[in-house]
Amino acid sequence: MSGRVLVGVKRVIDYAVKIRVKPDNSGVVTDGVKHSMNPFCEIAVEEAVKLKEKKLIKEVVAVSCGPQQAQETIRTALAMGADRGIHVEVSGKDYETLGPLHVSKILAALAKKEEAQLVILGKQAIDDDCNQTGQMTAALLDWPQGTFASEVSLEGDKIKVVREIDGGLETIKINTPAVLTADLRLNTPRYATLPNIMKAKKKKIANVKPADLGVELTSRLEVLRVDEPPQRLAGIKVETVGDLVSKLKETGKI
């Protein structure tokens, strides 16, 4: 086993920013808006670095698909402890239509190329909330998957994963190589300390194009329109239960 872990990190609009829709309803305003690493990706990086610190794996490689700025996100991963980075250059129109299927094809190709033992991703991105990339990557690689992981332990050549599911917690044991996706309670990501950021400057980021990996980026989806959610309307106060029933009938709710 190579002892190498691939971690996917996505650059998204910072969680604290108030999102605004573009006036032409074609998308969301991203220009000049603060961006940072997807919180679930941070958890994924943290888990990978923890595994390395426990000496269960040897190398953490951070991967991001996107324009030039994606390198900042990779640098943050490097500052958190990743050893090197791979920047898959996708920009312009291609970037706007980039979706989970493309990313999972890219990650699958990279996992094979880098002979990765493990691929760890965040369970979903906070901008599109797709929750698909991890699952698709596993399928393309024909690897087992441990999604919504809240606990991961390596046991020889198998992995025990505790998954957060609707009914509670499910524990599974899967073979390696495998794909994992991180859920909220998996760990608490560390701060990238300033000394580590300075050290990260010396770590390498390789540049790759999707074409080099044999992935073509035509999209099968077209975004027609983006709207803000409807404004929450004021409620009405009623005096008695009788009033409530008649009001509900009036507005056609019952």
Partner 1 sequence: MMMNANRLVVLSKYFQSGQRLLACNVRHAGKKVQQVQQQRLFRTHCRQLAYAKDLFLGLLNKDEVFPYPEVGKEEQDEINQLVAPVEKFFSEEVDSAKIDREAKIPEETLKGLKELGLFGLMVPEEYGGLGLSNTMYARLAEITSLDGSIAVTLAAHQAIGLKGILIAGTEAQKQKYLPKLASGEHIAAFCLTEPGSGSDAASIQTRATLSEDGKHYLINGSKIWISNGGMADIMTVFARTEVVVDGVKKDKISAFIVERAFGGITSGKPEDKLGIRGSNTCEVSFDNVPVPVENVIGEVGGGFKIAMNILNSGRFSMGSSSAGMIKKLITMTSEYAATRKQFNKSLSEFGMIQEKFADMALSAFAMESMAYLTAGMMDRPGLPDCSLEAAMVKVFSSERAWICVSEALQVLGGLGYTKNYPYERYLRDCRILPIFEGTNEVLRMYIALTGMQYAGKIATSKIKEMKKGNIGLAVSMIIKKAMSRTTSSVDLGLTGKDGVVHPSLKESAKKLELSVTHFGWTVETLLYRFGKTIVDEQIALKRVADVLINLYAMTAVLSRTSRSISLGLKKHDHEILLTNTFCDEAFFRNNYMLVQLQKHTPENDEANIKKIAAAVFQNRSYICSHPLDRTF
Give me the least distance between CB of 188 and partner 1, in Å please.
11
Q: How far apart are CA 128 and CA 99, in angstroms?
A: 9
Phi and psi at 171, nearest 5°, equal -110, 125
* Tokens found for residue 74: 């990779």
Interface with partner 1 (CB under 8 A), residue from 2, 25, 26, 193: 193
Interface with partner 1 (CB under 8 A), residue from 166, 168, 171, 191: 191
Does 76 sit near partner 1 (CB under 8 A)? yes
Nearer to partner 1, 89 or 164 (CB): 89
Interface with partner 1 (CB under 8 A), residue from 30, 50, 72, 184: 72
Nearer to partner 1, 130 or 197 (CB): 197
Interface with partner 1 (CB under 8 A), residue from 195, 214, 230, 252: 195
According to CB under 8 A, which residues from 5 to 34 bind partner 1? Answer: 32
Give me the least distance between CB of 111 and partner 1, in Å please.
28
Give me the least distance between CB of 79 and partner 1, in Å please.
7
| Closest to 215 (Cα-Cα) out of 134, 163, 140, 121 | 140
Helix crossing, 39-53 with 70-80: angle to 10°?
A: 30
Contact map string, positions 149 to 188, toward partner 1, x by CB under 8 A:
----------------------------------------
Give me the least distance between CB of 211 and partner 1, in Å please.
27
Interface with partner 1 (CB under 8 A), residue from 63, 77, 79, 161: 79
Contact map string, positions 224 to 253, toward partner 1, x by CB under 8 A:
------------------------------
Interface with partner 1 (CB under 8 A), residue from 4, 11, 52, 75: 75
Interface with partner 1 (CB under 8 A), residue from 28, 198, 211, 248: 198
* Tokens found for residue 240: 């008695």
- Kindly list the residues in this chain that would bind partner 1 in the complex (CB under 8 A): 32, 36, 72, 75-76, 79, 191-198, 201
